[in-house]
Structure 1
Amino acid sequence: MRDLTLLLDGGTFFEGARWHDGRWYASDFYADRVIAVTEDGVEETVLSIERPSGLGWLPDGSLLAVSMTGHKVWRRGGGGEPVLHADTAGFTRGEANDMLVDAAGRAYVTHYGFDLMAGEAPRPADLVRVDPDGTVSRAATGLHFPNAVMLSEDGRTLIVAETIAARLTAFDVADDGSLGPGRVWGQLAPTPPLTTLDEVIGAVRFAPDGCTLDAEGCIWAADSLHKRCARIGPGGEILEEIAVPDDDLVFYGAMLGGEDGRTLLTCLAPDWRQARPEGERASALYTARVDVPHAGLP
């Protein structure tokens, strides 16, 4: 078992962790802020928007952030103010979620596909593409709660975590950013049928949430229903697991970074299914040292 070290606590719900230009970034979404954190835990609020989640950077270095409830992608302006980059409301249902921004500035945005917090029955969702000029289109369809999005080092394979399908799905990427047919990159457990929300969640045996690629082609994935973070090989074999440092917390995100790429940052928070005190600040960021460095995007 690897040792987890507390980097930062006091968050409302940390998600969307990234490493960029020598600092960690994360969304603290109930606090409506995006933060940057140094490797010794000094934090700074860098953007304030409604319920942020997925993060990425345009080729010019501008930060992009998804607004989950606002169904928008915002860009951080030169003075730190939010500037509308794209409106995804016609394409994202339930809540917008994670995001990958590629080297050309194309953003791939996921969404729940149904109203999770209202207990609506799950249904398939799309992967949404936002071009650099803000044009929104559908990149892929038929995904079961698409979540984290990753891109291989050569930019040719895009991988999406389907949380309630217990799988990671890969797509070939064309030069124009369009995607080929999906294929299973890793089946982590059987995919349950889309029935009621309670039945689906009860049947999911591995729920990949925030994920990150490493240089051996493996993926670290937060399992947001079973209190573990796991390293997964192509095909879906679980190679290693890290348990939560506190049984009141759940892993929601995982990202490799640090100066040598061998620091695994994890986002933890209380279980979203349990009622919590309003304004509670129980979310935390923990790090662990791993053997294989980061690769690809984000």
Structure 2
Amino acid sequence: MRYPVTELARGLGFVEGPVALEDGAVLFTDIGAGLIMRLDPDGSIDVFADVGGGPNGLATTSDGGLLVCNNGGMGIREAADGFLRPNGTRGTRPVDPCIQRVNAHGRVEAGIASHRGGSFVAPNDLVLDAYGGCYITDFGAVHGRLVDPGGVYYAKANGRSHIADELVHVASPPLPLTQPNGVGLSPDGDTLYVAETASGRLWSWAVIAPGVLGPGPQPTTANGATLVYAVEGYAFFDSLAVDPDGYICVATVRKGGISVIAPDGELEAFIPMPVFDPAVTNICFSPEGDTAYVTAAGTGRLYAIDWRQPGRRSRSTSNRPPSVWSKP
């Protein structure tokens, strides 16, 4: 299958978290600057919200809010090879790692401050279900020889519950996840996918009820996860999105593109970006499902991919972002 790619913008920062709105605009994050940006259909780019810290994944809620995974802060520098890269600091405006809420006009509100096991370390990505709850990944952190592997969490009520339940890493041994990153749901909501950065592996669980996970079809680990796919060669997985037909589309670091993986674990395609970027970070879909938007952080670019494929169907409108979003 062909996936035509078009560059929409360049000269951006270390970008992540794209969200496509019904009016044709795209929101995305600038992690190093602590900003949420808005690209309008006419090509203009404005600051939508100043959230501080290090905003990562975004998701819109059914009540008109925007949830922001804020990792607390991340300094960014241009490396010797010319690509933007994290510099190992918390940046100039750190905040406590949390899930923030931003209203439709860009005002930051109270969100999810912690989980029942304690404080977040580095919230990375999230996906909402049909019940107003959200699954959240925490990337964890490395401190010398000590590693906090992160985890997967669930919060109810459109991010207004202020505390999340831990779903993975409550069992012993705490496997399979180390550095959980991208998270997504199958179109029917019955399967949760999580991409693990360090190993380049994609895992799945069955969703028994909102916020309740069970073993996948072929459990591989003590926590019931099924290994869906493992990337070939030296590469890492970043964030992901699931397309209308259930294909899991994972931003693949070092390879410079998107891995398109069928639910049965077969690699359907790899989509490289027109300009090589070792830090392709995230992908989202338009409300109709016919366009994908990709953030390439190493070169500060935003791309659109024509996702109209033979046999593809249109995305259900049941979880479309609200139409009330406007410029601040």
- Which TM-score bucket, shorter chain as reference? 0.7 to 0.9
Residue pair 1:4, 1:286 contacting (<8 A) in 2 also: yes
Secondary structure at the aligned position of 1:165 is classed as coil
Q: Report what 1:231 is aligned to.
A: 260
Aligned CA distance change for structure 1 residues 174 and 185 (closer, same or farther; 3 Å): same
Secondary structure at the aligned position of 2:198 is classed as helix
Which segment drifts farther, 106-115 or 70-79?
70-79
Equivalents in 2 of 1:224, 1:119: separation in Å? 23
* 2:30 paired with 1:28: yes
Shift of 1:223: 0.5
Superposed CA RMSD: 2.6
Shift of 1:208: 2.2
* 2:150 paired with 1:125: yes
* 2:17 paired with 1:13: no
Q: Report what 2:292 is aligned to.
A: 264
Equivalents in 1 of 2:103, 2:163: separation in Å? 19
After the TM superposition, which residues 1-298 of structure 1 pair with which residues of structure 2 at under 5 Å, given as runs? 2-22=3-23, 23-49=25-51, 50-69=53-72, 70-77=96-103, 80-88=106-114, 90-93=118-121, 95-115=122-142, 122=147, 124-132=149-157, 133-141=161-169, 142=175, 143-181=177-215, 182-184=224-226, 186-189=228-231, 205-257=234-286, 260-270=288-298, 282-290=299-307, 291=309, 292=312, 295=315
Secondary structure at the aligned position of 2:209 is classed as coil
Residue pair 1:10, 1:284 contacting (<8 A) in 2 also: yes
- Write the letter of the residue equivalent to 2:107: E
What count of residue pairs does the alignment treat as equivalent? 270
Residue pair 1:256, 1:293 contacting (<8 A) in 2 also: no
Equivalents in 2 of 1:294, 1:250: separation in Å? 29
Secondary structure at the aligned position of 2:212 is classed as coil
% identical equivalent positions: 26
Shift of 1:294: 6.8
Equivalents in 2 of 1:177, 1:48: separation in Å? 30
Q: Report what 2:76 is aligned to.
A: none
**Structure 1, unaligned runs of 5 or more:** 191-203, 271-281
Secondary structure at the aligned position of 2:208 is classed as coil
Equivalents in 2 of 1:8, 1:172: separation in Å? 38
Return the TM-score normalized by structure 1: 0.80
Aligned CA distance change for structure 1 residues 140 and 91 (closer, same or farther; 3 Å): farther
Residue pair 1:129, 1:138 contacting (<8 A) in 2 also: yes
Aligned CA distance change for structure 1 residues 61 and 205 (closer, same or farther; 3 Å): same
Residue pair 1:12, 1:28 contacting (<8 A) in 2 also: yes
Residue pair 1:7, 1:40 contacting (<8 A) in 2 also: no
Secondary structure at the aligned position of 2:32 is classed as helix
Residue pair 1:210, 1:221 contacting (<8 A) in 2 also: yes
Aligned CA distance change for structure 1 residues 75 and 167 (closer, same or farther; 3 Å): same
Shift of 1:295: 4.9
Aligned CA distance change for structure 1 residues 39 and 293 (closer, same or farther; 3 Å): farther
Which segment drifts farther, 145-154 or 37-46?
37-46
- Write the letter of the residue equivalent to 1:106: G
Secondary structure at the aligned position of 1:164 is classed as coil
Shift of 1:61: 1.3
Residue pair 1:67, 1:73 contacting (<8 A) in 2 also: yes
Equivalents in 1 of 2:241, 2:247: separation in Å? 9
Equivalents in 1 of 2:200, 2:100: separation in Å? 30
Shift of 1:87: 0.8
Equivalents in 1 of 2:152, 2:49: separation in Å? 25
Residue pair 2:153, 2:166 contacting (<8 A) in 1 also: yes
Equivalents in 1 of 2:139, 2:264: separation in Å? 24
Equivalents in 2 of 1:102, 1:3: separation in Å? 30
Equivalents in 2 of 1:252, 1:54: separation in Å? 10
Equivalents in 2 of 1:235, 1:263: separation in Å? 23
